[in-house]
Structure 1
């Protein structure tokens, strides 16, 4: 490998902004059998990035944040398993469990795929972490264990509720579940009803409606519900999703993107699907089982054929390169705190001219300088 330098956005502690400085570059030998070195051309921002920056959530500092990346293959070990899938120069996208805010990132070959056609880096970079998280909880044996998505899957006549359908995770979950042949019922705010329906939801409910529990339970009981997936909402989302499952006449499986710490308050008849903490698989192993629904199966083909939408759509911040990461993380924090008003602020900051009316969800992206 030719000599080169690497830089990263370092998080030296919680409660402080990230700092750009040099970072160690993995050698070809260190990539081993399963990793690929990627020169990053676009980074996407996730809520976990600002949360890990703001709160003491237990990681060892200093650390490098960031998950979603897209770029070109810079190196792969000759004769490796990874080399049978990727070669230098391939345009790829994927993700890592933190460590992504670097100029050069080593990715697990199982958690990346080639970018179809001439799709810009900013498009698929928004997908990785959210689709992998959705797939694990929707299709994993320890969770809802639904049938995998595939092109042209027949309708099953069963429903799945996605709580938090307009979130980044929910946007991907709706598409995966729909592609697996289930009818998606979703929740979101009224302002996002149309957005969620474009992703495949057949029924949408306002999660702020005081009667939402009874309304959704009645809808689910019109047929067989294959499960509830709490995609967004943290503890409040868990409580709300559990109430819906408890109000239904059938026993319903429930999986959550936010681990349910205590099952004591879960209503009778709700089958929470999650392994005990001691049996939780570590990163990145937890995502490997369900790659047939993501990088190793359905996703690349569906993207190439236009059957899968990049959602939420990317909003590229003005400042480029690693120096733009902190600006994007700050904007993500505002979106999380203010919702629609936060999205409007972000869009105005980047594009300008958005004063009134609804704005659809976005995912913030930083492009290479």
Structure 2
């Protein structure tokens, strides 16, 4: 048996308890989790009620394999054992991976969890949910050039990222810059210097009532691409900043805009082909990981982290927990 943070029922509190240690089969990998990262999908998965996930209105407590089960998707750890069909990984390899959502024994809020080997060791060690979310929005939905297809524009080609201080926004800024775009983003003033370090060309106070007007002035009303990482309300602001006379494009991950924007094409809800490129970007040091905040008490600190995420009280950092600090 191993220690895990267990969800026993929809809407119930997560509780530390004993969980049977998984055994890898086929192309599965058993990982001894060292550090796990929190994502909004984690608390939404077990909460009762309704909300948005990506582009879709959903009922919370989705993708539950059974009750009880272990939540969690992002992990950094060491391969403990591998199934008989695994070819690219071996015990002792260090990995960082997005384990997936909705499969029993794949939840990372535990001392040990499973992964499926559908990536090489190099690829699996570099992929996270925030990065992949932005990659899907840019390179699959908006059809932007990838970093290795970097564009040199005769004049600035702007891309707006509403919510640059979110974990997804951090990666979005870097990917957009690597693809050759002039990046405009929004954030609280205390985040501006850091986002400029990541590559943002213009950072605007997210609370500025003139934010949309300022963006339209900078882009002369010809902004073609925007990406919202926050909510339906901010998706409306991003849509308003776009070109209203010619076709423009908006990708959202946390709620569609509620207003009518006839010239704005909204990208609705890409994968393995991007992982190798992502690994190269991280290995080369041109894509920087999120800043992070370590929650106290390991697994026991995760529920408080979920509460902060749900209340919108996390800005500019990724919340993580060290498994070995669990009481």
Q: TM range, normalised to the smaller chain?
A: 0.7 to 0.9
> Which of 4, 12, 19 is matched with 1:16 structurally?
12
Over the aligned positions, Cα root-mean-square deviation in angstroms equals: 2.8
- Alpha-carbon spacing, 1:361–1:224, altered in 2? closer, same or farther (3 Å): closer
Distance (Å, rounded) in 1 between the aligned partners of 2:185 and 2:272: 24
Corresponding residue for 2:311? 337
Corresponding residue for 1:234? 231
Distance (Å, rounded) in 1 between the aligned partners of 2:22 and 2:237: 45
- Alpha-carbon spacing, 1:26–1:336, altered in 2? closer, same or farther (3 Å): closer
Distance (Å, rounded) in 1 between the aligned partners of 2:120 and 2:212: 38
Distance (Å, rounded) in 1 between the aligned partners of 2:220 and 2:247: 10
Alignment length (residue pairs): 304
C-alpha contact (below 8 Å) 1:332/1:364 kept by paired residues: no
* Structure-1-length-normalised TM-score: 0.73
Corresponding residue for 1:96? 99
- Alpha-carbon spacing, 1:190–1:55, altered in 2? closer, same or farther (3 Å): farther
2:284 is aligned with 1:298: no
Corresponding residue for 2:296? 318
C-alpha contact (below 8 Å) 1:162/1:230 kept by paired residues: yes
Gaps of 5+ in 1: 117-123, 276-288, 344-359
1:169 aligned counterpart, secondary structure = helix
2:311 aligned counterpart, secondary structure = helix
Distance (Å, rounded) in 1 between the aligned partners of 2:221 and 2:261: 21
Question: 1:54: Cα distance to partner?
Answer: 4.4
More strand by share: 2
Corresponding residue for 2:240? 243
Corresponding residue for 2:53? none
Corresponding residue for 1:170? 169
Distance (Å, rounded) in 2 between the aligned partners of 1:333 and 1:108: 30
Between stretches 178-187 and 165-174, larger displacement belongs to: 178-187
C-alpha contact (below 8 Å) 2:2/2:19 kept by paired residues: yes
Mapping for residues 34-113 of structure 1, pairs under 5 Å: 35-56=28-49, 57-59=60-62, 60=64, 61-78=67-84, 80=85, 82-83=86-87, 85-98=88-101, 99-110=107-118, 113=121
The CA deviation string for residues 58-87 of structure 1, in whole angstroms up to 9 with x for no partner, is 334433211110111122233x3x41x222
Distance (Å, rounded) in 2 between the aligned partners of 1:40 and 1:314: 17
Question: 1:244: Cα distance to partner?
Answer: 1.9
Corresponding residue for 1:364? 319
- Alpha-carbon spacing, 1:209–1:198, altered in 2? closer, same or farther (3 Å): same
Question: 1:166: Cα distance to partner?
Answer: 0.5
* Structure-2-length-normalised TM-score: 0.82
Question: 1:180: Cα distance to partner?
Answer: 1.7
Question: 1:42: Cα distance to partner?
Answer: 0.9
